[in-house]
Structure formats: C-alpha cells, structure tokens
Amino acid sequence: MFDLAVPDTETRLRIWINRPALPDAVAIGVGE
C-alpha cells in the first residue's frame, strides 16, 4: 500500500494530510 519507511517528507506529509481517507492504523503510523 504505502511505504512508510520512505524518507520523503513531502510524500509522508501528503499521506498524513489525507489521513481521513485511510484506515486509522495507517494514519497513526504515518502521523507518528
């Protein structure tokens, strides 16, 4: 799905911003 290990801050931020569309577990994992 998403590579949470990717050090691309912009990508991580975009995923974090769009977290309402993602499962809570994924959103929390990216948000940490």
- Please provide residue 3's backbone torsions phi and psi, each rounded to the nearest 5 degrees: -90, 95
* pLDDT computed for residue 6 by the predictor: 61
Stronger pLDDT, 13 or 32, i.e. the higher one: 13
Mean pLDDT confidence for 5-15: 73
22 — pLDDT class (breaks 50, 70, 90): low
In degrees, rounded to 5, the angle at the alpha carbon of residue 2 between the alpha carbons of residues 18 and 26 is: 60
Count up the domains in the chain and report the number: 1
Domain assignment present for 29:
yes
27 in any annotated domain: yes
Quick check: is 25 in a domain? yes
**Is 1 within a domain?**
no
pLDDT band at 17 (very low <50, low <70, confident <90, very high): confident
Domain span including residue 13: 7-32
